[in-house]
Structure 1
Amino acid sequence: MILHPFKAVSAFFQALPLLFSPSLRLFVLAPLLANFALMAVLYTFALSFFTDMTDSMMSWLPAWLGFLDWLFYVLFGLMSFFLIFYSFSIGVNILAAPFMGVLAERVEEKLTGEVVQETVSLAVILSLVGHSVLRELQKLTYFLPRVILLFIVSFIPIVNIAAPVLWLLFSAWMFSVQYLDYSFDNNKINFRNMRLSLRQKPILCWSFGFIVMALLMIPLVNLFVMPLAVVAASRLWVGTFKLESAVKGNSNFGVRE
């Protein structure tokens, strides 16, 4: 467990040469374009919406709490940022999900030499698209109640002091679930069993999520985060989760939900 943060960092460094390898460039292009679209929308429209939302929240603040203006501005600013980011991310992830699933599949084949999907046809492609969208909606039903709960907690006096930390932890966990799930799904592990596997390695998953969050803060680099995270997550699947599932007798393997 102590080495898990280093394992997460190593996965990203090892993902870089794979990301730009000729055999994967085609599958990197689609999520990369989706990421470009997300950043363009965020920088074009979200900044003004972010300011308006924060100002609107500040207007609810009672006059007698005016001396804590700066603290609530930071708090509401963080909440606005996360809500806007989640909204745009959900749409982009749904659109890019089939491509990212194929990218995770190709990375696993490259690392293990095993063929994950033997046949490729129009029917298989359409089935993949439909299943990917359903899986993303499944993630949405998992994330949404927790986002709403955190949003409510953020308005409870005293308790809301911990809200920014809770948002950070939840965001890191969300990124782990989002990107590690593609490899689990490709290997027909249902969403519930995937979450159970991740819970057994919380430090590894949080470390992975925090790395994704840090990379998203870096201009230009954030455009490549989506495919890079998929490749790094595929390396963690092959090097950690898949091996342990095999050792345990494939106890986590099940039919897709």
Structure 2
Amino acid sequence: MISHPFKAIGAFLKALPLLFSPSLRLFVLAPLLANFALMAILYMFAFSFLTGMTDSMMSWLPEWLGFLDWLFYALFGVVSTLLMFYSFSVGVNILAAPFMGILAEKTEEKLTGKVIQETVSLNFVLSIVWHSILRELQKLAYFLPRLLLLLFISFVPVINVISPLLWLLFSAWMLSVQYLDYSFDNNKLSFRDMRASLRRKPIVCWSFGFIVMILLTIPFINLFVMPLAVVAATCLWSDIFTLDHGLDGRSAFGVRE
């Protein structure tokens, strides 16, 4: 238990050279470029839509409150930006899931020498896309009720004193579930089994999530957090989670070239 935070740190240190290795480079660059292009297009359309929506809402404002235009514009702008950010985060995770699942698969193959999928066909790719979307929707169904509960707690007097800590722990846990799930899914373990396995090792999961949160705050580095977190999560899976399910992933310490 005491060593679990160091295992999470070690997973990221192990993931860095793997991320830029020749055998994984294509599986890292392809989803990154696709996500950058997609996010640029979505942000352009969303900015135009939200600007129009804000102007429309401002037209309902009574004339006698006209002197507060700047305040309402700022308020609507902040709310719209937050909604756009969280909506796109969910959307990008859903759209990137097939790419990230394949990256986790190829990382595990490199770590263990075990070939998870030998042949790739159009039907196989389509099945991966469909299954990945369904799995992401399961995560969304898991996150939303807890998110709403935290929002409620944040507005309850006295109890809301601890809400910042709860938000911090919840965010770290969400990130762990998001990225560790790819390896569990690749190994045919259900979402329920994945959650049960993570609950047995909460310290390593929170440690992993906190590292991802810190990396997300660093400019430029945050652009590569998604693939880095997937590779690091796969290292953690091979290192400590495989034994829970009767699998042998200890060869993660001997990376194949």
Same structural fold, with TM-score higher than 0.5 when normalized by the shorter chain: yes
State the shift of 1:35 in Å: 5.3
Q: Does the alignment pair 1:204 with 2:204?
A: yes
What per-residue deviation string (whole Å, max 9, x for no partner) do you get for residues 1-45 of structure 1? 101111000100100110001111111123323554687678995
Q: How does 1:17-56 map to 2 (within 5 A)?
A: 17-33=17-33, 36=36
Q: Does the alignment pair 1:172 with 2:172?
A: yes
Q: What letter matches 1:228 in structure 2?
A: L
SS in 2 for 1:31: helix
Q: What letter matches 2:102 in structure 1?
A: V
Higher Cα radius of gyration? 2
Q: How does 1:53-64 map to 2 (within 5 A)?
A: none
Q: How does 1:35-184 map to 2 (within 5 A)?
A: 36=36, 85-184=85-184
TM, length-normalised to structure 1: 0.78
SS in 1 for 2:22: coil
State the shift of 1:117 in Å: 1.1
Indicate if the aligned counterparts of 2:197 and 2:244 stay in contact, CA closer than 8 A: no
What per-residue deviation string (whole Å, max 9, x for no partner) do you get for residues 42-91 of structure 1? 8995xx99xx9xxxxxxxxxxxxxxxxxxxxxxxx9x9997664322110
Which whole-Å CA distance do the structure 2 matches of 1:244 and 1:96 have between them? 28
Indicate if the aligned counterparts of 2:173 and 2:206 stay in contact, CA closer than 8 A: yes
What do you get for the CA RMSD once the two structures are aligned?
2.6
Aligned length: 219
Which whole-Å CA distance do the structure 1 matches of 2:82 and 2:196 have between them? 25
Q: What letter matches 2:5 in structure 1?
A: P
Indicate if the aligned counterparts of 1:34 and 1:92 stay in contact, CA closer than 8 A: no
What per-residue deviation string (whole Å, max 9, x for no partner) do you get for residues 96-155 of structure 1? 000000000000000110111122111111000000000000100000111111111111
Indicate if the aligned counterparts of 2:8 and 2:204 stay in contact, CA closer than 8 A: yes
Q: How does 1:228-239 map to 2 (within 5 A)?
A: 228-239=228-239
Structure 1: unaligned runs, 5 residues or longer: 53-76, 249-257
Aligned in 2, Cα 1:80/1:193: closer, same or farther, shift over 3 Å?
farther
Indicate if the aligned counterparts of 1:35 and 1:224 stay in contact, CA closer than 8 A: no
Which whole-Å CA distance do the structure 1 matches of 2:231 and 2:86 have between them? 22
Which whole-Å CA distance do the structure 2 matches of 1:81 and 1:34 have between them? 23
Indicate if the aligned counterparts of 1:139 and 1:178 stay in contact, CA closer than 8 A: yes
Indicate if the aligned counterparts of 1:5 and 1:208 stay in contact, CA closer than 8 A: yes
Q: Does the alignment pair 1:186 with 2:186?
A: yes
Aligned in 2, Cα 1:39/1:145: closer, same or farther, shift over 3 Å?
same
State the shift of 1:158 in Å: 1.3
Indicate if the aligned counterparts of 2:19 and 2:227 stay in contact, CA closer than 8 A: yes
Structure 2: unaligned runs, 5 residues or longer: 55-77, 249-257
Q: What letter matches 1:91 in structure 2?
A: G
Which whole-Å CA distance do the structure 2 matches of 1:166 and 1:128 have between them? 34
TM, length-normalised to structure 2: 0.78
Which whole-Å CA distance do the structure 1 matches of 2:23 and 2:127 have between them? 23
